[in-house]
Amino acid sequence: MNESFDLDRWLRRHELDQPRQLEEALREVPTDQRPLALLSWLHVGDLQGERIHIPLR
Protein backbone atom coordinates (compact mmCIF):
# COMPACT_ATOMS: atom_id res chain seq x y z
CA MET A 1 0.00 0.00 0.00
CA ASN A 2 1.68 3.20 -1.16
CA GLU A 3 -0.57 5.71 0.53
CA SER A 4 -0.75 6.03 4.29
CA PHE A 5 -3.76 4.51 5.99
CA ASP A 6 -6.30 6.96 7.42
CA LEU A 7 -7.81 5.29 10.48
CA ASP A 8 -10.26 8.13 11.15
CA ARG A 9 -11.67 7.95 7.62
CA TRP A 10 -11.92 4.14 7.85
CA LEU A 11 -13.74 4.40 11.18
CA ARG A 12 -16.23 6.98 9.85
CA ARG A 13 -16.95 4.72 6.87
CA HIS A 14 -17.45 1.59 8.99
CA GLU A 15 -18.68 2.77 12.41
CA LEU A 16 -22.25 1.64 11.70
CA ASP A 17 -21.27 -1.73 10.22
CA GLN A 18 -22.81 -4.89 11.59
CA PRO A 19 -20.36 -7.23 13.36
CA ARG A 20 -20.07 -9.55 10.35
CA GLN A 21 -19.29 -6.57 8.13
CA LEU A 22 -16.49 -5.60 10.51
CA GLU A 23 -14.62 -8.80 9.73
CA GLU A 24 -14.48 -7.84 6.05
CA ALA A 25 -13.82 -4.15 6.73
CA LEU A 26 -10.74 -4.97 8.80
CA ARG A 27 -9.18 -6.59 5.73
CA GLU A 28 -8.80 -3.03 4.38
CA VAL A 29 -6.58 -2.14 7.35
CA PRO A 30 -2.82 -2.72 7.27
CA THR A 31 -1.93 -5.66 9.52
CA ASP A 32 0.06 -3.58 11.98
CA GLN A 33 -2.89 -1.22 12.53
CA ARG A 34 -5.68 -3.80 12.91
CA PRO A 35 -5.60 -3.96 16.73
CA LEU A 36 -5.99 -0.17 16.94
CA ALA A 37 -8.71 -0.18 14.28
CA LEU A 38 -10.61 -2.91 16.12
CA LEU A 39 -10.38 -1.11 19.46
CA SER A 40 -11.45 2.15 17.82
CA TRP A 41 -14.45 0.46 16.22
CA LEU A 42 -15.42 -1.19 19.52
CA HIS A 43 -15.40 2.25 21.14
CA VAL A 44 -18.23 3.41 18.85
CA GLY A 45 -19.61 0.14 17.43
CA ASP A 46 -21.70 -2.63 18.93
CA LEU A 47 -21.05 -6.35 18.57
CA GLN A 48 -24.70 -6.95 19.51
CA GLY A 49 -23.72 -10.04 21.46
CA GLU A 50 -22.21 -11.71 18.39
CA ARG A 51 -18.91 -13.53 18.41
CA ILE A 52 -16.63 -12.74 15.52
CA HIS A 53 -13.20 -13.99 14.51
CA ILE A 54 -10.72 -11.27 13.59
CA PRO A 55 -7.28 -12.37 12.42
CA LEU A 56 -4.95 -9.62 13.62
CA ARG A 57 -2.01 -10.86 11.55
> Residue-wise pLDDT tens for the chain (57 aa)?
447 899 999 999 998 899 889 989 999 999 899 989 989 998 887 788 888 777 766
pTM for the full predicted model: 0.76
pLDDT of residue 12: 94
pLDDT of residue 2: 44
**30: helix, coil or strand?**
coil
Query: Any idea where the domains of the chain sit in the sequence?
Result: 1-57
pLDDT of residue 1: 47
Decide if 11 contacts 44 (C-beta within 8 A). Answer: yes
CA distance 52 to 3: 29
pLDDT of residue 47: 80
CA distance 28 to 17: 14
